[in-house]
Amino acid sequence: MDLILHKFDLPCRHPFTIARGTTTVQRTLIVELRHGGHSGYGEAVESRFYGATVEGMTRLLESLRPQIEAFSPDDPAEFWEAMQPGTTTFPRAALDAAACDLWGKLLAAPVWRLWGLDLDRCPPSNYTIGLDSLDVMIEKLKEFDGWPVYKIKLGTADDIQIVRRLREHTAARFRVDANCAWGVDETIGNAALLEPLGVELIEQPLPADDWNGMKQLHRRCALPIIADESCRVESDVDRCAECFDGINIKLVKCGGPTPARRMIARARQLGLKVMIGCFTESSVGISAAAQLLPLVDYADLDGALLLARDVAAGVDIHRGRVEFPDRNGCGVRLL
């Protein structure tokens, strides 16, 4: 295989704000694996929170170039295992997604079909409303009206008022995400007020390492709690079962589609709900994550819609419905 690295700065459609900061441009690294006249693509966005930079990921992958290019593209899972000792999860996820995409293209089939899945029961994706002034948040909702479910970023002194005002403009289901900004009592109080407003779940209300607090919530909260920052890799799933009702799996957090499938299987054994999520990223990353849609309960795959312009084509999302292209692999092509 040939390894080609593409670096992009992805401008956001609007400044995207969560409880811990604002993003206006998302830096990303797209990995291309080329073999037999086909190219497979995977993506790893930059995340200071998780310690992943484009420069650091590039250096790591360049150091592994001889091993990567010597490997056969026949089995993505075998490739993932071979890459695991020398990589961190973000670049490993990009390699894994690229290997899956290439595998499907070489076998002339979509990845979801090669995994034995079908698209009959794919959940709709939410659209995310980032924090802003209340008037701007309402305008963001109206810009993408008609969706069946919206995720609302929270973590302010006015969280309940934000949800109340947004509720005046849609009958859709809501999910809220505090990105670690709340405390135990605050979450319990907020949940009691949010449930009548049509909120179906709360994502990661407490800091990622507050396991004792999350155990309290698990027993007392009026709404289901989904782990995000507390669930990064496979080994986190069992611990989350004691504290959460479900987990949000993001490919770059866990290391790619290969471990994500195992995490889903383990979550099911433990009775956990599963969300497939994303960062603000291009259609390369979104299309890889979408291959897992038939296996999950919730989808948060709007990352490419948060961009002012995309650098790839893949799955499309229209009012929550995820539409798969008539292309093999993960359906990805660079523009």
> pLDDT of 40-94, one tens digit each?
999 999 999 999 999 999 999 999 999 999 999 999 999 999 998 888 999 999 9
CA angle 266, 205, 11 (to 5 degrees): 90
At 86 the pLDDT is: 84
> Which residue segments constitute the domains of the chain, with CATH numbers given?
2-109 (3.30.390.10), 114-334 (3.20.20.120)
User: How far is it, in rounded angstroms, from Cα 67 to Cα 71?
Assistant: 6
> Mean pLDDT score of the chain, rounded to an integer?
97
> What is the Cα Rg of the chain in Å?
19
Among 84-93, 104-113, 164-173, 232-241, name the one with the lowest average pLDDT. Answer: 84-93
How much is the average pLDDT of 93-103? 98
pTM: 0.96
At 45 the pLDDT is: 98
| Beta strands in the chain, from DSSP E residues, in sequence order | 2-18, 21-35, 38-45, 127-129, 149-153, 173-177, 199-203, 225-227, 246-249, 273-276, 298-299, 312-313, 316-318, 321-323, 333-334
At 2 the pLDDT is: 98
User: How far is it, in rounded angstroms, from Cα 227 to Cα 209?
Assistant: 11
117: closest CA among 231, 253, 247, 264? 264
User: How far is it, in rounded angstroms, from Cα 213 to Cα 243?
Assistant: 9
At 85 the pLDDT is: 85
User: Which residue type is seen at 83?
Assistant: M
At 164 the pLDDT is: 98
At 240 the pLDDT is: 98
Percent of the chain with pLDDT over 90: 99
Say which residue the tokens 């080994």 belong to.
235
Q: Which residues contact 66 (CB under 8 A, 6 or more apart)?
A: none
Question: Encoding tokens for residue 84?
Answer: 């695991």
- 106-135 pLDDT, tens digit each: 999 999 999 999 999 999 999 999 999 999
pLDDT over threshold 90, residue 246:
yes
- 260-296 pLDDT, tens digit each: 999 999 999 999 999 999 999 999 999 999 999 999 9
The 3-state DSSP class for residue 129 equals: strand
C-beta separation of 153 from 131 below 8 A: yes
Say which residue the tokens 């979104």 belong to.
286
User: How far is it, in rounded angstroms, from Cα 7 to Cα 282?
Assistant: 12
At 90 the pLDDT is: 98
- 192-228 pLDDT, tens digit each: 999 999 999 999 999 999 999 999 999 899 999 999 9
pLDDT over threshold 90, residue 150:
yes
